[in-house]
Amino acid sequence: MSLIHPPHSNRAIDKPEANYEISFSEIKRSANPFSLGKRIVRKLKRLPKDILTKLPIVSDFYRYYWCFPRDVTTCRGVYKTFSEAIRALPSDSRISHNQSDIHECSAVSELVSRTLGRLEPFDYPLIPWLKLAFTDSSTVFDFGGNVGVSYYAFQKHLTYPENLRWVVCELSEIVKAGEKIAEETKSLNLSFTTEFANVDGVDILLTCGTLSYVEPSLAELLKPLKAKPRHLLINYIPCYEGKTFITLQNIGYAFSPYKIQKRTELLASLASLGYDLIDSWKDGRTCSIPFHPDRFVRAYHGFYLRLNSNDCNTSIYSEKQI
Would you state the pLDDT for residue 315? 40
201: left (phi over 0), alpha (psi -120 to 50) or beta: left
What does the DSSP assignment read for 264-307? HHHHHHHHTTTEEEEEEEEE---B--TT-GGG-B-EEEEEEEEE
Nearest to 251, CA basis, from 62, 97, 53, 137: 97
Range with the poorest average pLDDT among 31-45, 122-136, 253-267: 31-45
The Cβ-side half-sphere exposure at 271, using a 13 Å CA radius, reads 13
Range with the poorest average pLDDT among 26-30, 167-171, 245-249, 264-268: 26-30
Based on its alpha-carbon atoms, the radius of gyration of the chain, rounded to whole angstroms, reads: 21
Q: Average pLDDT, whole number, for the chain? A: 82
Q: What distance, in Å, lies between the first and last C-alpha atoms of the chain?
A: 33
Sign of the CA dihedral running 137, 139, 141, 146: positive
Higher-pLDDT residue of 128, 58: 128
CATH node for 102-243+258-307? 3.40.50.150
Would you state the pLDDT for residue 107? 43
Average pLDDT over residues 36-59: 66
- 3-state SS class at 190: strand
Rounded percentage of the chain residues whose pLDDT exceeds 70: 73
116-148 pLDDT tens trace? 778 889 999 999 999 999 999 999 999 999 899
